[in-house]
Structure 1
Amino acid sequence: MHILVMGAGVVGVTTAWYLRKAGHDVTVVDRQALAGVETSYANGGQISVSHAEPWANPSAPLKVLKWLARPDAPLLFKPRLDPYQWRWALAFLKECTTARSAHNIRQMVNLGTYSRSCLQAVRKDAGIEYDHLEKGILHFYTNPAEFEAALEPARIMRELGCDRQVIDRNRAVELEPALAPVRDRIAGGTYTPEDESGDARRFTQNLAARCAEAGVEFRYGTEVLGFDHARDRILGVNILKDGHHETLRADSYVLSLGSFSAILARKLGIFLNIYPAKGYSITVPVKDEAAAFKVSLTDDEYKLVFSRLGDRIRVAGTAELNGYSRELNPTRCRAIVRRSAEIMPDAARWDEAEFWTGLRPATPSNVPYIGKSHYGNLFLNTGHGTLGWTHSCGSAAAITDIICGRRPEVDFAFSGL
């Protein structure tokens, strides 16, 4: 079967890998000149099953209200005359109950645990390097209330098989000595030893090269405009490349265009409640090896993640719900640098930070769309929010099973099933 994958980010490329391994002919289309140069370009770098507490939780509405007037807030909602933004926001509020939050944690932990094992298999099978570290992820809290609020989600995750251990400040510094400068400010932490970190862009581009070697066709510089369709079938994808219009035809199609999936799906009458959450990151050179961390870190109060990528440090986080603009906000950039330097002043050359922003495809629940659509030969693998890197391999394995008529191995509420 010939399958066309729309999107060459980490989700699209892993999908192509699994589909090709299953014996299908695969074509990948993407408007960029290379794989992994939009949302996968400079993300937080964590394979974080432990980062499964959704943004929509019982404490979120009050926090969002408090943050409305703060331009450097971890989650910034900037109201627009956009019905899709408000529809997303109302659905977000409905997901903030205790019951819905627990349900969504289950979905994300199950998918994350499965995906992490899939990633390890892909890494071995493809033989690729991407500055990966297998030293776990340590969440630390400098606000006692935030630490207390994390205990129940951590308990739920442990029940679901995610070994998220609750630790005190001394154990946190023992695991990661780079936190010593703020030891007295740490209220507590959690540690998940099986979580990993790595460079998502390097992973995506190296895996794309392996895909191409295996026979996957990549059509870069190709913008998807719409579809030819009849009744319940997609007949082709209308594209624009080098100023020329063309229709690409295949037997089946996979939509993995991140935040832009929602815009394209609406042309088919499919509503995907995905809205772009603009995230920021900085990449800086290591200054002092002794002061730089090795264990990947999460600063939960400020919603920042820290990953070590060889001789570089990546700090990423915050979310801005403000449409599709990718313009850098200097205030939010400075806030990341300021907090990072405060936590680990000698770890990096913070004044040499390289700034980046990308649009993460967020659903109100943080649970992605994976599965069948209303069209018999159109499949969804999109809406992964901040966990696209974490969930990519598991999502790809699952959508391949669905396309092949098999039931996926992971317990997850698949779209259309």
Structure 2
Amino acid sequence: MHILVLGAGVVGVTTAWYLKQAGHEVTVIERQTRAARETSYANGGQVSVSHAEPWANPSAPLKLLKWLGDPEAPLLFKLRLDPAQWLWGLNFLRQCTAARARFNIRQMVNIGTYSRQRLQALREDLNLDYDQREQGILHFYTNYKEFEGAQEPARIMRELGCQRDVIDADRVVELEPALRPARHQIVGGTYTAQDESGDARKFTQALSEKAEAAGVEFLYETEVVGLEHNSSDVTGVRVIHNGSHRTLRGDGYVLSLGSYSPIMARPLGVRLNIYPAKGYSITVPVKDPKVAYEVSLTDDQYKLVYSRLGDRMRVAGTAELNGYNRDLNLQRCRAIVRRTAELMPDAGYWDQAEFWAGLRPATPSNVPYIGRTRYRNLYLNTGHGTLGWTHSCGSAAALADIISGRQPDVDFAFTSV
């Protein structure tokens, strides 16, 4: 079949790769000049099965109340006259029960573990280099209540096969000596040795080149403006390229437009509860390699993730629910710099921090949409939130199986909307 993949972020490009490997003709449509120029451009860099605890959990409502009005809060709701935001928020609160949180953890651990395996195999097969590190992910805690609250989700993850071990503060510093200046603040941690990190943009662009060499067609600077359809099928994609309107047609269509996916799906009667969660990152040159971190880190109290990308350090986090606004909030960027410099003052040139913001396609449960729609030839691979890089290879491989009429080799609640 000829499959049109809408979007060339990390999810869209991996989808195109696995579809091509399954024997399909594939065309990728992307409005930017190159792959990975939006949400995949400067994300946190973690391939983190251990980040399977959803934002919506029993402790979330009280935290949200505490964070209201705090411009530097890890999760910031900027309330708008936006029905989509309110609907998302209500569904988020419904997901905050222990039973639903456990179900969602299971989904994310399963797809995350499968995806990490597929990424490792793909890296070896194609000899990809994207500043990857296989030194695990270390969560550290500077708040006793946060540390205690992490132990039950970590236990559930271990039951599901994600070996997220609870460790004391001395072991945290032993695993990552760069945290020694902050030892007096650290109360404990968790460590997942099997997790990884790497530059999602470098990976996506390298894979797009491999895919193009294998015969995938990439139509860059081509904006998707709508889908044509009848009662049972999508019949075409309306696009604008070089100012000219045209319709592209294929046998099947994959929606991987991130936060813009619900906008494209809504006229077809396909309701996707995805809302953009604006995240921020800083990229900082390493100043002293001897005191810069080597292990990928997660600062759970501040909801920040740290990845070492060669001679650069990437620190990313926070989520701002403020519609499709992509403006940089410099206060939030500087808060990331301030926190990181406080923990590791001599590690980087903090005054040279490069700021970035991107819209992450968040569902209330944090579980993505992967699978079919009620239209025979329209498929979804979207809504991965902060875990698009983590879930990309697994969700793409699974969707390629579904499109090819095979049962995916992963236990996951695939979508049918």
Q: Same fold (TM over 0.5)?
A: yes
Q: Which residue of 2 aligns with 1:147?
A: 147
Residues of 1 paired with 2:155 and 2:398: CA distance?
A: 27
Residues of 2 paired with 1:147 and 1:312: CA distance?
A: 29
What is the CA-CA distance between 1:228 and the residue it aligns to? 1.6
Residues of 2 paired with 1:178 and 1:120: CA distance?
A: 27
Q: Secondary structure at the match of 2:238?
A: strand
Q: Which residue of 2 aligns with 1:199?
A: 199
What is the CA-CA distance between 1:261 and the residue it aligns to? 0.2
Counterpart of 2:150, as a letter, is A
For each residue in 1:279-328, what CA deviation from the matched residue of structure 2 results, as whole angstroms up to 9, or x when unmatched? 00000000011110110000000000000000000000000000001000
| 1:375 to 2:409 alignment | no
What is the CA-CA distance between 1:413 and the residue it aligns to? 0.2
Q: Secondary structure at the match of 2:3?
A: strand
Q: Which residue of 2 aligns with 1:167?
A: 167
Q: Which residue of 2 aligns with 1:386?
A: 386
Residues of 1 paired with 2:300 and 2:77: CA distance?
A: 18
Counterpart of 1:297, as a letter, is L
> In percent, how many aligned pairs have the same letter?
71
Residues of 1 paired with 2:182 and 2:344: CA distance?
A: 8
Residues of 2 paired with 1:4 and 1:130: CA distance?
A: 26
Q: Which residue of 2 aligns with 1:32?
A: 32
| 1:214 to 2:193 alignment | no
Residues of 2 paired with 1:185 and 1:124: CA distance?
A: 39
| 1:265 to 2:253 alignment | no
Residues of 2 paired with 1:183 and 1:385: CA distance?
A: 32
What is the CA-CA distance between 1:27 and the residue it aligns to? 0.1
Q: Which residue of 1 aligns with 2:406?
A: 406
Residues of 2 paired with 1:77 and 1:343: CA distance?
A: 27
| 1:183 to 2:206 alignment | no
Q: Which residue of 2 aligns with 1:345?
A: 345
Q: Secondary structure at the match of 1:184?
A: coil
Q: How does 1:216-295 map to 2 (within 5 A)?
A: 216-295=216-295
Residues of 1 paired with 2:138 and 2:76: CA distance?
A: 25
Residues of 2 paired with 1:302 and 1:362: CA distance?
A: 19
For each residue in 1:146-180, what CA deviation from the matched residue of structure 2 results, as whole angstroms up to 9, or x when unmatched? 00000000000000000101000111111100010
| 1:12 to 2:22 alignment | no
Q: Which residue of 2 aligns with 1:321?
A: 321
Counterpart of 2:170, as a letter, is N
Q: Which residue of 2 aligns with 1:75?
A: 75
Residues of 2 paired with 1:281 and 1:273: CA distance?
A: 25
Residues of 2 paired with 1:215 and 1:126: CA distance?
A: 15
Residues of 2 paired with 1:343 and 1:111: CA distance?
A: 33
What is the CA-CA distance between 1:416 and the residue it aligns to? 1.4
Residues of 2 paired with 1:263 and 1:228: CA distance?
A: 14
Q: Which residue of 2 aligns with 1:303?
A: 303
For each residue in 1:106-145, what CA deviation from the matched residue of structure 2 results, as whole angstroms up to 9, or x when unmatched? 0000000000000001111222110000000000000000
What is the CA-CA distance between 1:184 and the residue it aligns to? 1.6
What is the CA-CA distance between 1:65 and the residue it aligns to? 1.1
Residues of 2 paired with 1:20 and 1:136: CA distance?
A: 31
Counterpart of 1:208, as a letter, is S
Q: Secondary structure at the match of 2:268?
A: coil
Counterpart of 2:189, as a letter, is G
What is the alpha-carbon root mean square deviation over aligned residues?
A: 0.7
Q: Which residue of 2 aligns with 1:60?
A: 60
For each residue in 1:197-228, what CA deviation from the matched residue of structure 2 results, as whole angstroms up to 9, or x when unmatched? 00000000000000000000000011111112
What residue ranges of structure 2 are gaps of 5+ in the alignment? none
Q: Secondary structure at the match of 1:146?
A: helix
For each residue in 1:4-23, what CA deviation from the matched residue of structure 2 results, as whole angstroms up to 9, or x when unmatched? 00000000000000000011
Residues of 1 paired with 2:36 and 2:411: CA distance?
A: 28
Counterpart of 1:365, as a letter, is S
Residues of 2 paired with 1:267 and 1:245: CA distance?
A: 19
Counterpart of 1:169, as a letter, is A
Counterpart of 1:342, as a letter, is E
Residues of 2 paired with 1:123 and 1:292: CA distance?
A: 26
Q: Which residue of 2 aligns with 1:364?
A: 364
Q: Which residue of 2 aligns with 1:108?
A: 108
Residues of 2 paired with 1:347 and 1:159: CA distance?
A: 36
Q: Secondary structure at the match of 2:180?
A: helix
What is the CA-CA distance between 1:82 and the residue it aligns to? 0.3
What is the CA-CA distance between 1:241 and the residue it aligns to? 0.6
How many residues are matched?
A: 417
